[in-house]
């Protein structure tokens, strides 16, 4: 082991022992690590400071500078408080919302944060219990706050927790505030943290507990998204199976479905238990088939029409439906996003609700079929970077001029409304049930609707290939791969000429004739895209959170009839294999 690194970690750990800021239990744990012969845990806990990035904090819970604990959370909140007090210096009263999910320590971290905000003179609206992330976004806007935080690690494993910061529009923080907050957080020392006492200071006039009154306003507003309430009335007995996977969705999603008029909502009892250990799943991620297995088992038992699952903070939705053979199949994130936007556009047109100034948003790595749907129906579509803060930015820029009617990304996030500024599984599940009712009203399933889209707009298959490169050497390798791809972009993929290269780092697009055009995005990003003559699209980007480089392949195809799906899928998979061969993956 690196002796220099061990010495540096020991010095940082000793500082935790010599300071009166840290509680006895924490210091005892630090002592145990220092005295242990195996220094692995000490190094993992102290080799760096848990970095407050543009999305906030995320890490494993435990003692140390590189762990989620009341001190790292406290420093983040103190830094955010300092930034808010500087940025809104002229305001009589700065206010924030504090929310949290079902994870272990989430309530503790939320209460510690509330105390710190209050000790810095900031008014706090603290939710009385766990709530979905999108409701926290809604509350910022509804209560006229300047910021908000939610304690959640989304769909990460149980060891993790996280801290996400939001701005006054209810969206995750963007430039210049993201960098400004990071600078303030990095300046904070443990001794600077005001009000770092573990017990909630509930008597503080600056801390107000909120709950049911916000729930009601939020759910009433979500009900206004419904496009065709009559179809729900006709299909109100449709069988829905829903699971919150032990998370915050249990609070509001069944209730929202009832408010929309659905009467046959079946939840998975074992997973309707609030539990940060997520005992019934390997990972609480609705993208994984395993997380939906109990819900699908229940669906088979009662012959349900649809299965829905939300992740622990209820911002992502996963779903399953019956295919043409009556077998339960998972619908992926690209397909889900496409079904939502297809239904919204088609049925707003049918109901005479379009005024001509509507727009939708997708991320640059999400299926291009959405653009085909938008173009054919004369609806404006914007492309943005991965992450809902970019969708929120486009809503903000077009406010008062154009009407946002929906947006999403391939990673199972969708937002149907503009009174929330982050992905929302509460509204998404309600709208998904309406789409299913609309399909059933025509004697169809959601799978049939998906086949209809492919027949009308063309087929495409999306596959993400993750190349994992752990450690520092892996990070260097990933960096070099991007450098090499820029220096020598592929001339062909699967035998088809690359006719367009988009480089989001230079914000330039170059075609095969050498013509260069500008890409309209707010800032550079380390993403490359290649488009081939046959219509294949490949996007490449290093992951911001994990040691891997991601290749998003979209292979095109044609489907002349709903029964041609298997053939189209087979051909598209061959294209994906060809692309992998071309890129030596």
Residues forming the active site: 154
Asked if 76 and 109 count as a contact pair (C-beta separation under 8 A), the reply is no
Q: Is 121 helix (H, G, I), strand (E, B) or coil?
A: coil
Q: What is d(CA 20, CA 26) in angstroms, rounded to the nearest whole number?
A: 11
Q: What is d(CA 466, CA 469) in angstroms, rounded to the nearest whole number?
A: 10
Q: What is d(CA 184, CA 82) in angstroms, rounded to the nearest whole number?
A: 7
39: closest CA among 72, 15, 12, 71? 12
Burial classification of residue 465, based on how many CB atoms lie within 10 Å of its CB (0-12 exposed, 13-18 middle, 19 or more buried): middle
Sign of torsion, CA 152 318 435 265?
Answer: negative
DSSP 243: E
Q: What is d(CA 243, CA 296) in angstroms, rounded to the nearest whole number?
A: 10
| Residues 6 or more apart whose Cβ sits within 8 Å of residue 42 | 6, 9, 10, 13, 33, 34, 36
268: closest CA among 327, 286, 220? 286
What backbone torsions phi and psi does residue 3 show, to the nearest 5 degrees? -65, -35
**DSSP string for residues in 398-422:** HTTTSEEEEEEETTTEEE--SSS-S
DSSP 385: -
Q: Is 447 helix (H, G, I), strand (E, B) or coil?
A: helix
């Amino acid at each position: 082991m690196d002796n220099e690194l061990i010495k540096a970690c020991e010095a940082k750990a000793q500082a935790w022992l010599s300071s009166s800021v840290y509680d006895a239990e924490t210091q005892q744990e630090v002592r145990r690590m220092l005295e242990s012969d195996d220094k692995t845990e000490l190094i993992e806990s102290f080799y760096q400071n848990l970095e407050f990035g543009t999305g906030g904090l995320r890490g494993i819970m435990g003692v140390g500078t590189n762990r989620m604990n009341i001190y790292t959370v406290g420093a983040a909140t103190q830094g955010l408080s300092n930034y808010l007090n500087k940025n809104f210096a002229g305001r009589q009263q700065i206010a924030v919302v504090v929310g949290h999910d079902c994870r272990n320590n989430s309530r503790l971290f939320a209460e510690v944060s509330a105390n710190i905000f209050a000790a810095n003179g900031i008014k706090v609206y603290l939710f009385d219990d766990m709530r979905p992330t999108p409701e926290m976004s809604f509350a910022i806007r509804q209560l006229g706050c300047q910021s908000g935080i939610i304690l959640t690690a989304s769909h990460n494993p149980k060891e993790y927790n996280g801290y996400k910061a939001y701005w006054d529009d209810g969206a995750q923080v963007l430039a210049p505030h993201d960098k400004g907050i990071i600078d303030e957080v990095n300046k904070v020392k443990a001794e600077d943290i005001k009000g770092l006492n573990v017990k909630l200071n509930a008597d503080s006039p600056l801390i107000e507990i909120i709950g049911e009154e916000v729930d009601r306003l939020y759910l009433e507003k979500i009900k206004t998204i419904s496009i065709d309430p009559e179809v729900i009335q006709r299909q109100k007995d449709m069988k829905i199976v829903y699971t919150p996977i032990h998370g915050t969705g249990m609070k509001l999603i069944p209730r929202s479905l009832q408010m929309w008029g659905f009467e046959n909502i079946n939840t998975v009892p074992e997973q309707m238990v609030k539990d940060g250990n997520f005992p019934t799943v390997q990972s609480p991620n609705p993208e994984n088939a395993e997380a939906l297995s109990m819900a699908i088992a229940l669906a088979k038992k009662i012959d349900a029409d649809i299965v829905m699952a939300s992740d622990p903070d209820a911002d992502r939705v996963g779903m399953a439906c019956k295919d043409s053979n009556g077998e339960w199949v998972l619908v992926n994130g690209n397909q889900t996003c496409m079904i939502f936007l297809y239904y919204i556009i088609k049925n707003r047109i049918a109901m005479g609700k379009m005024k001509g100034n509507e727009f939708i948003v997708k991320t640059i790595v999400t299926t291009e079929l959405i653009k085909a749907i938008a173009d054919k129906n004369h609806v404006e579509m914007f492309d943005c970077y991965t992450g809902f803060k970019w969708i929120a930015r486009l809503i903000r820029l077009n406010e008062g001029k154009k009407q946002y009617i929906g947006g999403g990304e391939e990673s199972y996030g969708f937002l149907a409304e503009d009174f929330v500024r982050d992905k929302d599984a509460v509204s998404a599940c309600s709208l998904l049930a309406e789409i299913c009712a609309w399909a059933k009203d025509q004697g169809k399933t959601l799978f049939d609707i998906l086949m209809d889209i492919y027949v009308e707009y063309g087929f495409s298959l999306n596959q993400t290939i993750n190349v994992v490169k752990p450690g520092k050497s892996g990070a260097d390798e990933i960096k070099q791969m991007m450098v090499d791809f820029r220096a020598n972009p592929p001339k062909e993929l699967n035998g088809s000429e690359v006719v367009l290269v988009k480089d989001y780092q230079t914000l330039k697009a170059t075609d095969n004739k050498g013509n260069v055009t500008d890409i309209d995005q707010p800032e550079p990003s380390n993403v490359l895209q290649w488009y081939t003559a046959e219509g294949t699209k490949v996007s490449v980007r290093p992951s911001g959170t994990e040691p891997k480089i991601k290749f998003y392949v979209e292979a095109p195809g044609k489907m002349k009839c709903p029964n041609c799906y298997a053939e189209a899928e087979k051909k598209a998979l061959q294209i994906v294999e060809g692309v992998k061969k071309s890129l030596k993956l």
